[in-house]
Amino acid sequence: MSTLKTNTLTGTTSAGSILVTGEGGSTTTNLQQGLAKAWISFNGGVSTPVAIDSFGTSTLTDNGTGDYSQTLTNAMGNANYVHSGSAGVNDGSGSAISLRNYGYNTARTQSTTVYNINNSYDNNNAINSYNVSIVHGDLA
């Protein structure tokens, strides 16, 4: 076994592109593209929602019930990046947990530095929730 120790990895052909071999040894995947560019876990059920833990995020804005905007520390290359995640509420209601959803509110615009999260249940009920959100895509 050999171990390479360094602080920075940079592509030679393209600085932002390094291929790594897949686990099965027959395919490759792009290291930079596969890395999460930001993530956050936050409790939206308190008067001023704050991150429980996070990476690559800055201001979390509470727009209203179940309606949040998250600012990224580093801008993405364009607004077509991916943010996926999950949401839940620990309100003791038990059976209602399956109705909690994670989505995004496009009444607000997703930009290279800000994306939006909605939490709701049933057909039309916004609700404050715990959220975990992960961002993938290309950095600027």
**Could you tell me if 119 and 88 are in contact, meaning their C-beta atoms sit under 8 angstroms apart?**
no
- With H, G, I as helix, E, B as strand and everything else as coil, classify residue 98: helix
- 106 in contact with other proteins (CB under 8 A): yes
- 57 in contact with other proteins (CB under 8 A): no
Specify the length of the chain in residues.
140
DSSP annotation of 97 reads G
Contact window for other proteins (CB under 8 A) among 42-50, 54-62, 131-139 = 131-139
CA distance linking residue 120 with residue 67, whole number of Å: 9
Q: CB 3 → other proteins: shortest distance, Å?
A: 9
Note the residues at the interface with other proteins (CB under 8 A): 1-2, 4-13, 17-31, 33-36, 78, 80-86, 98-99, 101-107, 118, 120-126, 133-134, 136-138
